[in-house]
Structure 1
Amino acid sequence: MPRKATALIRRLTALLLCAALAACGSNSADKDDTPVQLLVFGAPEELEAYRTLISSYSKPVQLVEASDREDLLARLATSIAGGSPPDLFLMNYRFYGQFAVKDAIEPLDERVAASGVIDPADYYPVAMDAFKWQGKQLCLPQNVSSLAVYYNRTLFEKYRVPLPKAGWTWNDLLTTATAMTRDKNGGVIRAAESEGAALRPAVHGLGIEPSIIRLAPFVWSNGADIVDDPVRPTRLTLDSPGAREALKNLVDLRLAYGVVPTDQEVEAEDDESRFVNGRLAMLLSSRRSTTTFRSITGFEWDVAPLPIYRQPAGILHSDAYCLTRGSRNKDAAWDFLEYAISAEGQKIIAATGRTVPSHIEVSTSPAFLGPAQPPRSAKVFLDAIPTVRALPTVSTWPEIEDVTGGILENALYRGDRLDDVIRQLDEQTRPLFARAEYPR
């Protein structure tokens, strides 16, 4: 059926459903002058991106800013329990399950079906599916970001080290990181030398967060899995040969090769700031770092795909707008949500650098791929989408990330024995999986 005819049918359907279900303006608490509350967190540059989106919208929206993810989760939980939640919140798929099990999120299927603006077929399925809970579309994704390697192109050219490129391997990453770990005079520092204070690197070759979300794509790339069942997981499976190899290579980056900063150095200056300040050659991060890195004026930077083991694999980093069931301004909140993830809204937020648009057409438009602002290789994010996988969406996943993060930090910075690390990861997460609730 021609697209125009389909759009007409959808608009007629919208009118009929609105009349039958009183979905348009039925909330007696809705008032034109009542701002929609949107709860978000992010770096200053990210928050500015959302202000840009809000300023382009015709009705009042109040941006409620959490200081970080933990603050957002705490504020949301407290406000829901107190009966006065924000109308909308923006959240990664890894964290919304704890609110889904409490029936705190309004399903959007009927509103989507009635919309003349949103067609689910226009969006990347991997992002849409990540926000389905027990067959219902609870939230609508703004982005389909993935993990990439940010690199300081100017520094690479200065030291005449080959640039990262598609198809490179973990060993290539390690060789490159070693070549880019330099002292204050520009000399290469080997692992054994880097422990001495006098030869501590002025530039580290690589920055990587010791976490399950950084480890997962390499486990998958090596032909293994991180859990026993991606839909109803009961335990981590990092004891398999492929997972063990990926985990060992990750923790060896610090004590065996010295290419990543120490824990004390990271506490003094986080990896993102270290990259901005020209003291980190490469950083593994998602698209959200782009807004911050666009403030860089002292050097040129770009992105490259993740290195591979056996096959390409990526990890989904997707955030979505969710409508709280307890909102007193649902219709107005839906109107803004609909605008935010429409093609028009996604072009605005994509132009700020914050997102890899979940809207397929927008993701291939100049709003995202345009060469006016870095990264010049933005298509790297689109090329990764066919191999991107989502982590399990279970209600206790935030706790699982917290527990595994502490263990992996100790492994990277203290050099804990691999067998002990794997045993701790298993023993401390099994109880969390045991009380988890699942999306399907």
Structure 2
Amino acid sequence: MTEGPAMPGGPPPPAGPARPARPSRRDVLRGGTGLLSGAAAATLLAGCGSGGGDGVGADGRVTVELWHGQTDTGRAAIQKLVDEFNRTHPKIRVDPGGGVLSDAMLQKVTAALASGSYPDIAYIFGSDLASIARSPKVADLTATVAHGPTPWRQFWTPAREAVTVNKRVRAAPALIDSLAVVCNKKLFARAGVPLPEAGWTWDEFTATAKKLTSHADGTFGTGWPGVGDEDTVWRLWPMIWDLGGEVIAADGHGIGFEDTGVRALETVARLAADKSVYIDPKPGSEQMYQVFLSGRMGMVVTGPWQLPDIAQAKVDYHVVPLPSYSGKAITISGPDTWTVFDNGSARVAAARTFVEWLIQPAQDVRWDIQAGSLPLSRSTQALGAWRDRTASTEGLSVFTQALETARVRPAHPAYPQISEALGQAITAVLLGRSTPAKALRGCAHEANAALLIPR
């Protein structure tokens, strides 16, 4: 028997056979904010022990342990790069066999530091780097990137900022993305609504979402994750920044969005009041994306990692930059990192050599294409392979161009607590359980308290 259409905020009907799992890039981008307990944070500060010897074999070759955190296509891509590096660097052997999936990497590395047996390189979410970098076992890469083959300034600003903590480079950029809006052309045409163009506003977004919504047909104007996790939160930061707010106030003693956050939440409240937003009740946003892929959502805010699935679902789509309040282009980027740990001078030197090689354009472009990312640097963007990829992928250039004005979440150890508090506020507004002003007051109370804790 065929199920009826889902109502706003409810679970979608079955979307047919499950597709093969893709790299969890949306998990990477939304990830981080893994809260550390007091005991776990203390182990980072202690950082005692070594990760298992100097790693130099009898033949003089240094073994480097890599925890890459990738699955499926991403794992295959990093394995090919590792194999090439090992062939071309006979004095170093990179072993990519250890670690866990990227979503659990913070907890895994924290436990490894406590036990004294930790990797040489780990894939760490950018929003977790500040917490991990409190350990004295995290290597400083400032000199490494300053003298690398690709000039540091060639890397996009979000990539540089994501790996910089207290003005020191504490990791190498691993992967970068941005957010834009993907539109279903068929639903726009059916509703008689013109496709949006760059420079549109959030008022236009909410009005468009309302026009695209049809409860009779089970279609939604847009979607938003509704579980309060980082995927819920990080979509709001461009709105707050556009209104002049900051995640953390300039003095560092409180949040910087007590007023602007209310206005951004008012936009969310309008979507909820219009019942034009599909509220995904499960972590990972998989249901929200399935609603879009099944042709029942007009607009979805997402990143370039979603484009292969959209093409596979044969959705005729259009990509447009995020709306704004000010008319200025702004988005968010979620860079992640290759973080190097100190297991002795020989292993640190070998690990630095590997990550320096990995982020060069010739390797980066292959990783970007296979893992569904954007180029880390303008040097990579200029390569013929990336230009070909852009020409063959509808809308990809919009995501890349957005990096020019993209911002990143601050590399601050209190960010996870701020995110958790804001996630609760957004969810309360989406579900109609609180007003924007009341929800933001609760968020500010919790987040400000977290910022007062000595770090």
TM-score by length of 1: 0.78
Contact in 1 for aligned 2:179/2:332 (Cα 8 Å): yes
Counterparts of 1:70-109 in structure 2, within 5 Å, are 71-109=104-142
Deviates more, 1:415-424 or 1:39-48: 39-48
Counterparts of 1:368-379 in structure 2, within 5 Å, are 368-370=386-388, 375-379=393-397
Q: For 2:96, give the aligned amino acid.
A: Q
Match of 1:245 in 2: 263
Q: Give, in whole Å, the separation in 2 of the partners of 1:156 and 1:149.
A: 13
Q: Give, in whole Å, the separation in 2 of the partners of 1:340 and 1:155.
A: 42
State the Cα distance separating 1:341 from its structure 2 match. 0.3
Match of 2:218 in 1: 202
Is 1:223 aligned to residue 244 of structure 2?
Answer: yes
Identify which of 278, 286, 301 aligns with 1:284: 301
- What whole-Å deviation, never above 9, does each CA across 1:90-140 have from its counterpart, x for those lacking one? 22322110011222310113334554x343133223421331223321112
Is 1:37 aligned to residue 65 of structure 2?
Answer: yes
State the Cα distance separating 1:289 from its structure 2 match. 3.3
Is 1:423 aligned to residue 441 of structure 2?
Answer: yes
Q: For 1:391, give the aligned amino acid.
A: R
Match of 1:176 in 2: 208
Q: For 2:324, give the aligned amino acid.
A: I
Q: Give, in whole Å, the separation in 1 of the partners of 2:246 and 2:105.
A: 30
Deviates more, 1:48-57 or 1:79-88: 48-57
Contact in 2 for aligned 1:45/1:292 (Cα 8 Å): no
Q: Give, in whole Å, the separation in 2 of the partners of 1:61 and 1:303.
A: 39
Divergent runs of 4+, >6 A = 265-268
* Structure 1 residues 292 and 269: alpha-carbon distance in aligned structure 2, compared to 1, 3 A threshold: closer
* Structure 1 residues 147 and 258: alpha-carbon distance in aligned structure 2, compared to 1, 3 A threshold: same
* Structure 1 residues 43 and 97: alpha-carbon distance in aligned structure 2, compared to 1, 3 A threshold: same
Secondary structure, counterpart of 2:172 in structure 1: strand
* Structure 1 residues 365 and 281: alpha-carbon distance in aligned structure 2, compared to 1, 3 A threshold: farther
Secondary structure, counterpart of 1:96 in structure 2: helix
State the Cα distance separating 1:293 from its structure 2 match. 4.3
Secondary structure, counterpart of 1:107 in structure 2: coil
- What whole-Å deviation, never above 9, does each CA across 1:275-304 have from its counterpart, x for those lacking one? 33333332212334345545x243233422
Match of 2:45 in 1: none
Contact in 2 for aligned 1:84/1:326 (Cα 8 Å): no
Match of 1:166 in 2: 198
Match of 2:351 in 1: 333
**Structure 1: runs of 5+ lacking an equivalent:** 1-26, 182-187, 190-198
Is 1:236 aligned to residue 281 of structure 2?
Answer: no
Secondary structure, counterpart of 2:234 in structure 1: helix
- What whole-Å deviation, never above 9, does each CA across 1:233-265 have from its counterpart, x for those lacking one? 32224332x4322111113322x1112224548
- What whole-Å deviation, never above 9, does each CA across 1:204-242 have from its counterpart, x for those lacking one? 22122353311111122223334322xx532224332x4
Is 1:395 aligned to residue 421 of structure 2?
Answer: no
Contact in 2 for aligned 1:301/1:375 (Cα 8 Å): no
* Structure 1 residues 398 and 152: alpha-carbon distance in aligned structure 2, compared to 1, 3 A threshold: same
Identify which of 298, 301, 314 aligns with 1:298: 314
Is 1:343 aligned to residue 361 of structure 2?
Answer: yes
Contact in 2 for aligned 1:49/1:354 (Cα 8 Å): no
Identify which of 247, 268, 276 aligns with 1:259: 276
Q: Give, in whole Å, the separation in 2 of the partners of 1:43 and 1:291.
A: 16
Identify which of 143, 146, 151 aligns with 1:110: 143
Is 1:323 aligned to residue 356 of structure 2?
Answer: no
Secondary structure, counterpart of 2:182 in structure 1: strand
TM-score by length of 2: 0.76
Q: Give, in whole Å, the separation in 2 of the partners of 1:313 and 1:372.
A: 21
State the Cα distance separating 1:425 from its structure 2 match. 0.2
* Structure 1 residues 112 and 215: alpha-carbon distance in aligned structure 2, compared to 1, 3 A threshold: closer
Contact in 2 for aligned 1:291/1:352 (Cα 8 Å): no
Deviates more, 1:302-311 or 1:267-276: 267-276
Q: For 1:334, give the aligned amino acid.
A: R
Contact in 1 for aligned 2:174/2:336 (Cα 8 Å): yes
- Percent identity among equivalent residues? 20
Counterparts of 1:113-192 in structure 2, within 5 Å, are 113=146, 115=148, 117-157=149-189, 159-181=191-213, 188-189=214-215
Secondary structure, counterpart of 1:348 in structure 2: helix
- What whole-Å deviation, never above 9, does each CA across 1:398-417 have from its counterpart, x for those lacking one? 23222321332122123312
Q: For 1:433, give the aligned amino acid.
A: L
Secondary structure, counterpart of 1:298 in structure 2: coil
Secondary structure, counterpart of 2:324 in structure 1: coil
Contact in 1 for aligned 2:210/2:274 (Cα 8 Å): yes
Q: For 2:135, give the aligned amino acid.
A: K
Contact in 2 for aligned 1:88/1:323 (Cα 8 Å): yes
Identify which of 57, 78, 81 aligns with 1:50: 78
Q: Give, in whole Å, the separation in 1 of the partners of 2:81 and 2:191.
A: 40
Match of 1:62 in 2: 96
Contact in 1 for aligned 2:224/2:279 (Cα 8 Å): no
